[in-house]
Amino acid sequence: MLAELGVPTYGVVLAALVVVAVAAAGYALGSRRGVAALRQRLAALGSRLGADNPPDEPAELEDALVFVERATDHAAEAVAESSADAIRLRRALDTLPQAVIVCDERGAPVFHNARAVTLMGNRHGDALAAQAVDELLAATGPGASEERTLELYGPPRRTLAVRTMSLDNGQRTLGVIAVIEDVSERRRLEEVRRDFVANVSHELKTPMGALGLLAETLLAETEPEVSRRLAERVHNEAFRISRVIDDLLDLTRIESEESPPREPVLVNLVMAEAAERVRASAEQRSVEVRLDEPTPPVAVLGDRRQLTSAVYNLLENAVKFSYERGVVVVVGKAEGEDVVITVTDTGIGIPARDLERVFERFYRVDHGRSRQTGGTGLGLAITRHVAQNHHGSVRVESREGEGSTFTLVLPVQGRGEQ
């Protein structure tokens, strides 16, 4: 590689030193045979080593030796500098998140960066990726470039974007370079964004359509009692739209605050405030909310507004899916270095197939019941993001027809902060 860069290799330098040694030995022995030819060869060798201003015709063998020695020193410095540059370039390529593979003009790989070594492992999915990359490298002709997207179904499922380009120095082809990027996370985020837009559009379209129909009917209605009921329906649909928008704004704000302001917050106050906010809804459904606060009081380090919102959404969810005259129990307690808040109801429960998805945005176990109770499908998603923002977690245990228990785990004051 150094020779291709126009830099003398160690072999050339070593050969020069051997010639110098032989010439010096011959000179020391006083041999005059072929001295003129030897002087010319030394001058030519010095020129090949890149020395400047070679003597046209060295008068003495000593002059030729000095010239070659100077050329050898210059070549050795160039080789050392080029070796340092090559090491620096290799280390820089190893830091790239993309995999880089370089092949020579015959198609043989001559360089893999660290990411490429990791990517082209021995697992089945990686073997398929390596085969596809080899095929793409072979198909890349002089002056051309190729692109391909590889779907590896895993597990885990991955998407690789591969781009190959021909390398040349303006005169001949030097080889091919392949750049491989794992775009799995980017694809996942794109799918999440598309689903989010579709869900928001659906959630707003339904009440907006209902508002239009109700308003049209209300305009043509002359019966006061019917008009009153229609007006109540209009009010309910408008409130539903407002709830969706408010929850969307809350979720957006919480997602953007990956590191919210940290201050000591009493869990007792968070639980009491959340219970007070849900009390009107609970009384409307004749659901009793029982509080069992930590004793002695315990604090966490975080954002009080976010934490209250998380507990409130768990309570609201429990009240909505409880039977009339049911009971929702909220218990907070310290367990080691964590504060654990559990919200338990004796309501309709969650089917096992839905347990892993209840924290997704707009996901509903019972669409009809959720709409009747005014749910937006965003409350549990908000709780999950609040838990993540506070280095905690949230989980659910449930059995259909027997109720559910949601558990919010938060680190006590100071833990999880660097």
CATH of residue 144: 3.30.450.20
Residue 325 and residue 399 share a domain: yes
| Tokens 């100071």 -> residue | 414
pLDDT in tens, 317-326: 899 888 888 8
Q: What is the pLDDT of residue 41?
A: 64
The predicted model gives 283-312 an average pLDDT of 90
Domain-located, residue 72: yes
Q: How far apart are CA 377 and CA 298, in angstroms?
A: 31
Domain-located, residue 124: yes
Residue 236 and residue 199 share a domain: yes
Q: List alpha helices for 257-358, DSSP H.
A: 267-284, 304-320
Cis peptide upstream of residue 261 (ω within 30 degrees of 0): no
Residue 412 and residue 268 share a domain: yes
CA-to-CA dists, residue 85 to 42, 78, 88, 92, 368, angstroms:
30, 10, 5, 10, 67
Which among 274, 296, 311 has a CA at the least distance from the CA of 392?
311
| Tokens 């869900």 -> residue | 199
Domain-located, residue 2: no
**Res. 289 pLDDT band, cuts 50 70 90:** very high
Residue 405 and residue 304 share a domain: yes
Q: What is the pLDDT of residue 6?
A: 41
State percent of the chain over pLDDT 90. Answer: 14
**Phi and psi at residue 395, to the nearest 5°:** -145, 170
Q: What CATH number does the domain containing 211 carry? A: 1.10.287.130
pLDDT in tens, 344-389: 998 888 888 878 788 877 776 654 444 555 556 788 888 998 898 8
Cis peptide upstream of residue 294 (ω within 30 degrees of 0): no
pLDDT at 343 over 80: yes
Q: What CATH number does the domain containing 416 carry? A: 3.30.565.10
Q: What is the mean pLDDT of the chain?
A: 76
Residue type, 48: R
**Nearest-10 Cα torsion for 365, 369, 374, 375:** -10
CA angle 7, 11, 12 (to 5 degrees): 60
Q: How far apart are CA 418 and CA 407, in angstroms?
A: 25
**Of 68 and 333, more confident:** 333
Residue 343 and residue 270 share a domain: yes
Q: What is the pLDDT of residue 395?
A: 92
**Of the listed ranges 98-112, 124-138, 180-194, the one predicted with least confidence:** 124-138
Tell which of 201, 228, 256 closes a domain: 256
Q: What is the pLDDT of residue 50?
A: 58
Residue 223 and residue 150 share a domain: no
Domain-located, residue 4: no
The predicted model gives 192-204 an average pLDDT of 72
Residue 405 and residue 266 share a domain: yes
CA-to-CA dists, residue 399 to 124, 185, 350, 369, angstroms:
39, 33, 6, 18
Are the CB atoms for 350 and 398 separated by under 8 Å?
yes
The predicted model gives 87-106 an average pLDDT of 83
Give the structural domain span for 48: 10-92
Q: How far apart are CA 251 and CA 310, in angstroms?
A: 11
Residue 302 and residue 414 share a domain: yes
Q: What is the pLDDT of residue 407?
A: 95
Domain-located, residue 299: yes
State percent of the chain over pLDDT 70. Answer: 71
CA-to-CA dists, residue 25 to 30, 47, 169, angstroms:
9, 22, 42
**Of the listed ranges 47-61, 107-121, 255-269, 386-400, the one predicted with least confidence:** 47-61
**Of 292 and 253, more confident:** 292
Any bridge partners for residue 99, and if so which? 180
Q: How far apart are CA 366 and CA 320, in angstroms?
A: 11
Tell which of 156, 182, 208 closes a domain: 182
Q: How many domains in the chain?
A: 4
pLDDT at 416 over 70: no
Residue 276 and residue 410 share a domain: yes
Q: Is the dihedral of CA 356, 357, 360, 364 positive or negative?
A: negative
Domain-located, residue 267: yes
**Of 189 and 258, more confident:** 189
Q: What is the pLDDT of residue 63?
A: 65
Residue 148 and residue 24 share a domain: no
Cβ of 339: how many Cβ atoms within 10 Å? Answer: 22
Residue 217 and residue 154 share a domain: no
**Of 350 and 196, more confident:** 350
Q: How far apart are CA 30 and CA 45, in angstroms?
A: 22
Tell which of 157, 182, 207 closes a domain: 182
Residue 29 and residue 109 share a domain: no
Domain-located, residue 3: no
pLDDT at 147 over 50: yes
The predicted model gives 402-415 an average pLDDT of 83
Domain-located, residue 5: no
pLDDT at 38 over 50: yes
Q: What is the pLDDT of residue 328?
A: 94
In this structure, what DSSP letter does residue 103 have? E
**Res. 414 pLDDT band, cuts 50 70 90:** very low
Helices 10-28, 35-48: axis angle to 10 degrees equals: 160
Reduced 3-state DSSP string for 186-217: HHHHHHHHHHHHHHHHHHHHHHHHHHHHHHHH
Residue type, 149: T
Task: Tell me the Ramachandran region of residue 325: left when phi exceeds 0, alpha when psi lies from -120 to 50, beta otherwise.
Answer: left
pTM of the model: 0.53
CA-to-CA dists, residue 284 to 73, 160, 278, 323, 326, angstroms:
93, 54, 10, 12, 12
pLDDT in tens, 224-265: 888 888 888 888 778 777 777 777 777 777 766 666 677 899
The predicted model gives 29-47 an average pLDDT of 58
